[in-house]
Amino acid sequence: MKKIVIIGGMAAGCKTAARLKRLKPDYDITIIEKQDFISYGTCGMPFYASGDIDDFLDLAKTPWGMIRDDNYFIKSKKINIKLSCEAIEIDKDNQKVICLDLKTNQQFTLDYDYLVLATGSTPVKPNFPTPESDNISDFHDPLNAKKFKLKAQSGQIGSVAIIGGGFIGVELAEATTSLWGIETHLIELTNRLMPQALDKELSTLLENHLTKNDIKIYLNTSVSKIEKNQDDSLKISLNDNSQINADYVFLCLGIKPNTKLSQQIGIKHSKICGIKTNKQLQTNIKNIYAAGDCIAVKDLITNQDALYPFGSLANRQGRVIADVLAGKKSTFKGAIGTSSVKVFDLIIASAGLNEYQANTLNLNYNCVWGTFYDRPDYMPESQTLVAKLIYEKQTLRLLGLQLIGKGEITRYIDTFSILASNKKTAYDLLDYEHAYTPPHSGPLNPLNHLGAMAINQEIDQINSLHPLSFQQFKGYIIDVREQSEINEIPLDNANLKLSILDYHDKINDIPKDEQILVICQKGPRSYEVARTLINKGFKNVKYLGGGIQLLKSIF
């Protein structure tokens, strides 16, 4: 019989406990949790806040409607639960955890054979002054979601400012506008929304979508202070000296791993990404393991430490620790940060590095862009999907993918995730076998095309122009769309219009000594014409990545 103490009762902690108890029923397992609930589905909070999910407890229920409370874990799973208790010190030499019961203020001590740190994360604090107010909160603590919803339901909130345009900020912006009709201001420090996932040319599609849904977006904007108005509403001062008034402010400035305890006892840490572990999720201190938001995950693309605070990874890590402690072979290899988010009816998905990150890391990368139908164009339900692929130049190794659209998206980010995690290349992206039927995809899918484009670019030098470079392009522009398409999305500065049907006859009209850019609606025709021109001896020919459909979203 071993004694296991787990600090933290959310995804990683509860998964470790439940799996380990199944494998080793005679182990004595105790979870210590600061809050007075455990196993809460925090990823569902935006949908609770928005009203899509009615009951606060729905996020703590089993599929058969039983509440996953301490009683459930104790009775059904035979796991000891200490709610409202905080681990305040670890005595690593004597293998003890000193705990404080937050309700009685009494201290007590738990012995352990193995200790699991699943201490989670806390919101990053603002670097600007904020007043004491019940109307400012993060969106990390479930009780804040509950508080906000009560206020919204009772009509107390006419306007909201969300500071931070990452995943949570964006999900929250939908939540506040869609059901409650609250005037929503979304403030982001960088030049784009979801900067960890998206590069600017793709984030414009998200920004346009949010703007269309009445969300006010402030990019390149920092907050200098928040003050309380006399009516208890809040005044947010921005770096351009303008001000926004809002009834409620959400601080969505990111999160940081909770490492106070682990730092005290000499556990090794990554500088910003949390506790360092090996593949068995062991720390450098004997018999201490760690999982969940508090650990640094090995990024399988960069081989560097990363902060990937995802419930999906926390679950996997919990399983690994349970298996290891039960004497089974199991490893957590790492991750590449695969994620998706739905905002109104738009899906944004990404995996691996974006170009900004690849650039920062000084990688020798290149990109291709594509605008696609997610299904054959003849299917009435076809939806447009915009994609950007980042790959390593020499090896064609997959580095990152960004996808935005309304249709079939998740399958492509998942397949990319597997391929990129396994260090596969653009050839594998081109080649992999997907389920083809017209209601769900074309015979070649967007990833197959992106793989082909990358190969064509690196091997045959059929190069795409970065959409963000379009306005700086000085050269000869050839529009190879049909007149009906040009009428729909005009392009004023084209030097030549050609139909794909008879462009061969007019190639002599094209100046041989200029830089040439070929443009079409989505990409394939301009690629084909660019290749023909290169075959004919033209130098300096590019086609516009993503076609004019992506371009019009940017400029």
Cα–Cα distance measured from residue 451 to residue 212, given in angstroms and rounded to the nearest whole number = 32
Return the H-helix or E-strand segment holding 17: helix 11-23
CB of 434 to its own copies, least distance (A): 5
Closest contact distance (angstroms) between CB of 250 and its own copies is 19
Residues in CB range of 484: below 8 A, 6 or more apart: none
Q: Which is nearer to its own copies, 113 or 528 (CB)?
A: 528
Q: Calculate the alpha carbon distances from 181 to 152, 290, 467 in Å.
A: 10, 42, 35
* CA atoms of 494 and 392, how far apart (whole Å): 32
DSSP 299: B
Alpha-carbon distance values, 123 to 120, 126, 162, 256, 434 (Å): 10, 9, 14, 6, 40
- C-beta of 144 vs 159, nearer to its own copies: 144
Tally Cβ neighbours within 10 Å of residue 108.
13
Which of 262, 350 has the CB closer to its own copies?
350
Q: Which is nearer to its own copies, 93 or 502 (CB)?
A: 502
Nearest approach, Cβ of 456 to its own copies (angstroms)? 9
Q: CA dist 319 to 275, 438, 488, Å?
A: 18, 38, 54
- Backbone phi, psi, residue 99, to 5°: -120, 155
CB of residue 132 to its own copies, shortest distance in Å: 33
Report, in Å, the least distance between residue 242 CB and its own copies. Answer: 33
Q: In whole angstroms, how close is the CB of 21 to its own copies at the nearest point? A: 9
Q: What is the DSSP string of 310-329?
A: -HHHHHHHHHHHHHHHTT--
Residue 509 CB, shortest distance to its own copies, in Å, is: 17
Task: Identify which of residues 86 and 414 has a Cβ nearer to its own copies in the complex.
Answer: 414
Q: Where are the beta strands (DSSP E) in 456-554?
A: 463-465, 476-479, 496-497, 516-519, 541-544
Based on CB atoms, which residue is closest to its own copies, 100 or 401? 401
Which amino acid type is present at position 483? Q
Give me the least distance between CB of 180 and its own copies, in Å please.
Answer: 17
Least Å from the CB of residue 432 to its own copies? 5
Contact between residue 415 and residue 447 where contact means Cβ atoms under 8 Å apart: yes
Whole-number Å distance between alpha carbons of 117 and 291? 6
3-state helix vs strand vs coil in the chain, percent to 5 = 30, 25, 40
Q: Is 55 helix (H, G, I), strand (E, B) or coil?
A: coil
Which lies closer to its own copies via its Cβ, residue 378 or residue 472?
Answer: 378
Q: With respect to its own copies, which residue has the nearer C-beta, 249 or 390?
A: 390
Backbone angles phi, psi at 321, to 5 degrees: -60, -45
Shortest reach from residue 372's CB to its own copies, in Å: 9
Would you say 43 or 265 has its CB closer to its own copies?
43
* Residue number with CB closer to its own copies (236 or 273): 273
Tokens describing residue 105? 């203020």
